[in-house]
Structure 1
Amino acid sequence: MSGADDIASLDFASVTPEEFARIVKGLSTKEINEIAQDATLRARVLKEVFGRMERQFKPDVAGSLDALIRWKVTGQGDTEDAVYETKIANATCTVTEGRSNAEPRVTLVMGDADFLKLVSGNSSPVTMFMMRKVKIAGDVALAAGLTRYFDIPKA
Protein backbone atom coordinates (compact mmCIF):
# COMPACT_ATOMS: atom_id res chain seq x y z
CA MET A 1 0.00 0.00 0.00
CA SER A 2 1.40 3.41 -0.93
CA GLY A 3 1.28 6.61 1.10
CA ALA A 4 -1.50 7.89 -1.16
CA ASP A 5 -3.51 4.73 -0.49
CA ASP A 6 -2.95 5.15 3.26
CA ILE A 7 -4.25 8.72 3.16
CA ALA A 8 -7.08 7.94 0.72
CA SER A 9 -8.39 5.15 2.94
CA LEU A 10 -8.38 7.27 6.11
CA ASP A 11 -11.58 8.05 7.89
CA PHE A 12 -10.45 11.51 8.97
CA ALA A 13 -13.20 11.78 11.56
CA SER A 14 -11.69 8.88 13.51
CA VAL A 15 -7.98 9.77 13.14
CA THR A 16 -6.48 11.60 16.10
CA PRO A 17 -4.04 14.47 15.50
CA GLU A 18 -1.27 12.23 16.87
CA GLU A 19 -2.10 9.44 14.40
CA PHE A 20 -2.18 11.94 11.55
CA ALA A 21 1.22 13.30 12.63
CA ARG A 22 2.66 9.77 12.62
CA ILE A 23 1.24 9.10 9.15
CA VAL A 24 2.74 12.32 7.78
CA LYS A 25 6.08 11.58 9.46
CA GLY A 26 6.15 8.23 7.68
CA LEU A 27 5.65 9.77 4.24
CA SER A 28 8.44 11.11 2.05
CA THR A 29 8.15 14.48 0.34
CA LYS A 30 7.73 12.56 -2.93
CA GLU A 31 4.83 10.53 -1.51
CA ILE A 32 3.09 13.65 -0.20
CA ASN A 33 3.51 15.33 -3.58
CA GLU A 34 1.99 12.25 -5.26
CA ILE A 35 -1.01 12.54 -2.91
CA ALA A 36 -1.31 16.22 -3.84
CA GLN A 37 -1.58 15.30 -7.54
CA ASP A 38 -5.01 13.80 -6.82
CA ALA A 39 -7.06 17.00 -6.64
CA THR A 40 -9.99 15.37 -4.78
CA LEU A 41 -7.76 13.73 -2.18
CA ARG A 42 -5.70 16.91 -1.75
CA ALA A 43 -8.84 18.98 -1.19
CA ARG A 44 -10.06 16.43 1.37
CA VAL A 45 -6.76 16.49 3.29
CA LEU A 46 -6.54 20.31 3.28
CA LYS A 47 -10.18 20.69 4.36
CA GLU A 48 -9.61 18.29 7.26
CA VAL A 49 -6.37 19.96 8.38
CA PHE A 50 -7.86 23.44 8.31
CA GLY A 51 -11.05 22.17 9.95
CA ARG A 52 -9.00 20.86 12.86
CA MET A 53 -7.31 24.23 13.39
CA GLU A 54 -10.42 25.61 15.05
CA ARG A 55 -10.59 22.62 17.42
CA GLN A 56 -6.86 22.65 18.20
CA PHE A 57 -6.73 26.39 18.83
CA LYS A 58 -5.51 27.43 22.30
CA PRO A 59 -7.49 30.58 23.25
CA ASP A 60 -5.69 30.92 26.59
CA VAL A 61 -2.37 31.28 24.75
CA ALA A 62 -3.74 33.62 22.08
CA GLY A 63 -5.14 36.04 24.65
CA SER A 64 -5.94 39.33 22.94
CA LEU A 65 -4.24 38.44 19.65
CA ASP A 66 -6.12 39.83 16.67
CA ALA A 67 -4.73 38.60 13.37
CA LEU A 68 -5.67 37.30 9.96
CA ILE A 69 -3.29 34.62 8.69
CA ARG A 70 -3.46 33.71 5.02
CA TRP A 71 -2.17 30.30 3.97
CA LYS A 72 -1.30 29.62 0.35
CA VAL A 73 -0.48 25.99 -0.37
CA THR A 74 1.06 25.94 -3.80
CA GLY A 75 0.05 23.27 -6.23
CA GLN A 76 2.24 21.44 -8.72
CA GLY A 77 1.58 20.83 -12.37
CA ASP A 78 -2.16 21.06 -13.01
CA THR A 79 -2.99 21.35 -9.31
CA GLU A 80 -4.19 24.82 -8.36
CA ASP A 81 -2.98 26.72 -5.34
CA ALA A 82 -5.19 26.36 -2.28
CA VAL A 83 -5.86 29.43 -0.14
CA TYR A 84 -7.27 29.41 3.39
CA GLU A 85 -7.50 32.14 5.99
CA THR A 86 -7.28 31.76 9.74
CA LYS A 87 -8.82 34.62 11.72
CA ILE A 88 -7.83 34.84 15.36
CA ALA A 89 -9.80 37.39 17.38
CA ASN A 90 -11.59 37.55 20.74
CA ALA A 91 -9.98 34.25 21.81
CA THR A 92 -11.53 32.37 18.89
CA CYS A 93 -10.17 30.91 15.68
CA THR A 94 -12.19 30.85 12.49
CA VAL A 95 -10.99 29.23 9.28
CA THR A 96 -12.38 30.03 5.84
CA GLU A 97 -11.50 28.63 2.46
CA GLY A 98 -10.53 31.14 -0.20
CA ARG A 99 -9.03 34.59 -0.26
CA SER A 100 -10.92 37.49 1.25
CA ASN A 101 -10.39 41.17 0.52
CA ALA A 102 -9.09 41.71 4.06
CA GLU A 103 -5.42 42.51 4.54
CA PRO A 104 -3.67 39.64 6.33
CA ARG A 105 -1.21 40.32 9.13
CA VAL A 106 0.92 37.52 7.68
CA THR A 107 0.83 35.32 4.60
CA LEU A 108 2.57 31.95 4.51
CA VAL A 109 3.29 30.30 1.17
CA MET A 110 4.54 26.72 0.92
CA GLY A 111 4.12 23.49 -1.01
CA ASP A 112 1.92 20.59 0.05
CA ALA A 113 4.68 18.50 1.66
CA ASP A 114 6.04 21.39 3.72
CA PHE A 115 2.54 22.43 4.78
CA LEU A 116 1.65 18.94 6.02
CA LYS A 117 4.99 18.61 7.82
CA LEU A 118 4.45 21.98 9.52
CA VAL A 119 0.86 21.41 10.69
CA SER A 120 1.60 17.88 11.88
CA GLY A 121 4.50 19.00 14.07
CA ASN A 122 7.06 17.29 11.86
CA SER A 123 8.91 20.50 10.97
CA SER A 124 9.75 23.79 12.64
CA PRO A 125 8.41 27.01 11.05
CA VAL A 126 11.69 28.81 11.81
CA THR A 127 13.78 26.05 10.21
CA MET A 128 11.47 25.97 7.20
CA PHE A 129 11.81 29.74 6.77
CA MET A 130 15.60 29.58 7.07
CA MET A 131 15.71 26.79 4.48
CA ARG A 132 13.37 28.82 2.21
CA LYS A 133 10.70 26.10 2.27
CA VAL A 134 8.13 28.63 3.42
CA LYS A 135 7.80 32.21 2.22
CA ILE A 136 6.48 34.73 4.71
CA ALA A 137 5.04 38.13 3.87
CA GLY A 138 4.11 40.45 6.72
CA ASP A 139 4.61 39.85 10.44
CA VAL A 140 7.52 37.38 10.57
CA ALA A 141 7.46 37.28 14.40
CA LEU A 142 3.80 36.19 14.36
CA ALA A 143 4.61 33.52 11.77
CA ALA A 144 7.57 32.23 13.82
CA GLY A 145 5.38 31.79 16.91
CA LEU A 146 2.21 30.64 15.19
CA THR A 147 2.48 27.01 16.28
CA ARG A 148 2.18 27.96 19.96
CA TYR A 149 -1.45 29.02 19.38
CA PHE A 150 -2.43 25.48 18.39
CA ASP A 151 -2.24 22.08 20.04
CA ILE A 152 0.07 20.46 17.52
CA PRO A 153 0.89 16.81 18.12
CA LYS A 154 4.38 15.41 17.99
CA ALA A 155 4.83 12.24 15.97
Structure 2
Amino acid sequence: MGKTDDAKVTRAELDEIFDRMDAHLDRDRARELDVVVRWRLTGGSGEGGYDRYETVLADGACKVRREMGERPRVTITLAPSDFLKLVTRQATPAVLFVTGKIKVKGDLAFAAGLSGFFQLPKPE
Protein backbone atom coordinates (compact mmCIF):
# COMPACT_ATOMS: atom_id res chain seq x y z
CA MET A 1 0.00 0.00 0.00
CA GLY A 2 2.36 2.73 -1.12
CA LYS A 3 0.03 5.61 -0.34
CA THR A 4 1.19 9.19 -0.08
CA ASP A 5 -0.21 11.91 2.17
CA ASP A 6 -2.58 13.03 -0.56
CA ALA A 7 -3.77 9.58 -1.62
CA LYS A 8 -7.18 8.50 -0.43
CA VAL A 9 -7.22 5.36 1.66
CA THR A 10 -10.37 3.47 0.71
CA ARG A 11 -12.94 1.98 3.05
CA ALA A 12 -11.99 -1.47 1.69
CA GLU A 13 -8.35 -0.87 2.68
CA LEU A 14 -9.40 0.29 6.15
CA ASP A 15 -11.64 -2.77 6.54
CA GLU A 16 -8.73 -5.01 5.53
CA ILE A 17 -6.36 -3.40 8.06
CA PHE A 18 -8.87 -3.73 10.88
CA ASP A 19 -9.70 -7.31 9.85
CA ARG A 20 -6.00 -8.22 10.20
CA MET A 21 -5.56 -6.70 13.67
CA ASP A 22 -6.26 -9.95 15.51
CA ALA A 23 -3.56 -11.73 13.48
CA HIS A 24 -1.00 -9.12 14.58
CA LEU A 25 -2.01 -9.00 18.25
CA ASP A 26 0.71 -9.94 20.74
CA ARG A 27 -1.50 -12.39 22.62
CA ASP A 28 0.83 -12.72 25.62
CA ARG A 29 0.93 -8.96 26.19
CA ALA A 30 -2.80 -8.54 25.58
CA ARG A 31 -3.92 -11.52 27.65
CA GLU A 32 -4.99 -9.41 30.65
CA LEU A 33 -6.65 -6.62 28.67
CA ASP A 34 -10.37 -5.94 28.67
CA VAL A 35 -10.74 -2.64 26.81
CA VAL A 36 -12.60 -1.01 23.96
CA VAL A 37 -10.74 1.35 21.61
CA ARG A 38 -12.89 3.51 19.35
CA TRP A 39 -11.35 4.73 16.09
CA ARG A 40 -12.73 7.74 14.19
CA LEU A 41 -11.18 8.18 10.76
CA THR A 42 -11.79 11.55 9.15
CA GLY A 43 -13.25 12.08 5.70
CA GLY A 44 -15.54 9.07 5.95
CA SER A 45 -19.12 8.52 4.95
CA GLY A 46 -20.46 7.80 8.43
CA GLU A 47 -22.07 10.05 11.00
CA GLY A 48 -20.24 13.37 11.32
CA GLY A 49 -17.98 12.53 8.36
CA TYR A 50 -16.11 9.73 10.15
CA ASP A 51 -15.59 6.07 9.41
CA ARG A 52 -15.84 4.42 12.81
CA TYR A 53 -14.43 1.18 14.10
CA GLU A 54 -14.17 -0.35 17.55
CA THR A 55 -11.50 -2.78 18.57
CA VAL A 56 -12.29 -4.89 21.61
CA LEU A 57 -9.13 -6.24 23.22
CA ALA A 58 -10.09 -8.97 25.67
CA ASP A 59 -8.84 -12.41 26.68
CA GLY A 60 -5.85 -12.23 24.33
CA ALA A 61 -7.96 -11.51 21.24
CA CYS A 62 -8.85 -8.47 19.15
CA LYS A 63 -12.39 -8.26 17.80
CA VAL A 64 -13.37 -5.49 15.43
CA ARG A 65 -16.85 -4.11 14.96
CA ARG A 66 -18.42 -1.27 13.02
CA GLU A 67 -21.28 -0.79 15.47
CA MET A 68 -20.44 1.32 18.47
CA GLY A 69 -21.05 -0.64 21.66
CA GLU A 70 -19.90 -0.05 25.18
CA ARG A 71 -18.01 2.99 26.42
CA PRO A 72 -14.43 3.03 25.11
CA ARG A 73 -11.34 3.42 27.28
CA VAL A 74 -9.97 5.67 24.56
CA THR A 75 -11.21 7.28 21.34
CA ILE A 76 -8.59 7.96 18.68
CA THR A 77 -9.30 10.35 15.80
CA LEU A 78 -7.00 10.72 12.79
CA ALA A 79 -6.93 10.83 8.99
CA PRO A 80 -6.90 7.48 7.16
CA SER A 81 -3.49 8.28 5.63
CA ASP A 82 -2.04 8.90 9.11
CA PHE A 83 -3.65 5.68 10.37
CA LEU A 84 -1.93 3.83 7.52
CA LYS A 85 1.41 5.40 8.49
CA LEU A 86 0.82 4.40 12.11
CA VAL A 87 0.08 0.73 11.40
CA THR A 88 3.02 0.42 8.98
CA ARG A 89 5.47 2.10 11.39
CA GLN A 90 6.06 5.04 9.08
CA ALA A 91 4.97 7.34 11.92
CA THR A 92 4.93 6.99 15.69
CA PRO A 93 1.95 7.80 17.90
CA ALA A 94 4.05 10.43 19.70
CA VAL A 95 4.95 12.30 16.50
CA LEU A 96 1.35 12.21 15.26
CA PHE A 97 0.14 13.51 18.63
CA VAL A 98 2.71 16.31 18.91
CA THR A 99 1.99 17.46 15.35
CA GLY A 100 -1.77 17.48 15.98
CA LYS A 101 -2.48 14.73 13.46
CA ILE A 102 -3.97 12.41 16.06
CA LYS A 103 -6.47 13.32 18.75
CA VAL A 104 -7.00 11.19 21.82
CA LYS A 105 -9.96 11.29 24.19
CA GLY A 106 -9.77 9.17 27.31
CA ASP A 107 -6.77 7.30 28.70
CA LEU A 108 -3.81 9.04 27.05
CA ALA A 109 -1.22 6.75 28.67
CA PHE A 110 -2.99 3.64 27.37
CA ALA A 111 -3.28 5.16 23.89
CA ALA A 112 0.45 5.95 23.87
CA GLY A 113 1.29 2.30 24.48
CA LEU A 114 -1.44 0.74 22.33
CA SER A 115 0.84 -0.12 19.40
CA GLY A 116 2.96 -2.19 21.80
CA PHE A 117 0.15 -4.75 21.95
CA PHE A 118 0.56 -5.46 18.23
CA GLN A 119 3.38 -6.95 16.17
CA LEU A 120 3.41 -4.33 13.44
CA PRO A 121 5.08 -4.83 10.07
CA LYS A 122 8.29 -2.91 9.50
CA PRO A 123 8.45 -0.37 6.64
CA GLU A 124 10.32 -1.47 3.54
Provide TM-score, normalisation by structure 2.
0.90
Is 2:4 the counterpart of 1:28? yes
Q: Which residue of 2 aligns with 1:99?
A: 68
Give the structure with the larger strand fraction.
2
Q: How many percent identity over aligned positions?
A: 36
2:37–2:72 contact (8 Å) kept in structure 1: yes
Is 2:48 the counterpart of 1:72? no
1: CA distance between counterparts of 2:31 and 2:99? 30
Kindly state the Cα deviation for residue 106 of structure 1 after the two structures are TM-superposed. Answer: 0.3
- Alignment size in residue pairs: 121
**Higher-Rg member (1/2):** 1
What is the letter of the counterpart of residue 65 of structure 2? T
1: CA distance between counterparts of 2:28 and 2:77? 27
Aligned-partner SS, 1:153? coil
Give the structure with the larger helix fraction.
1
Provide TM-score, normalisation by structure 1.
0.73
2:31–2:61 contact (8 Å) kept in structure 1: no
Is 2:27 the counterpart of 1:59? yes
CA deviation profile, 1:29-81 (whole Å, cap 9, x unmatched): 01x2xx34xxxxx11101100000011111101131111000000116x7841
What is the letter of the counterpart of residue 61 of structure 2? T
What is the letter of the counterpart of residue 124 of structure 1? T
1: CA distance between counterparts of 2:50 and 2:74? 17
Post-superposition, which runs of at least 4 consecutive aligned residues in structure 1 deviate over 6 A?
none
Is 2:59 the counterpart of 1:90? yes
Which blocks of at least 5 consecutive residues in structure 1 are unaligned?
A: 1-22, 37-41
CA deviation profile, 1:86-120 (whole Å, cap 9, x unmatched): 001111111111322x1100000001111111111
Which blocks of at least 5 consecutive residues in structure 2 are unaligned?
A: none
1: CA distance between counterparts of 2:4 and 2:27? 33
2: CA distance between counterparts of 1:92 and 1:116? 21
- RMSD value, Cα: 1.6
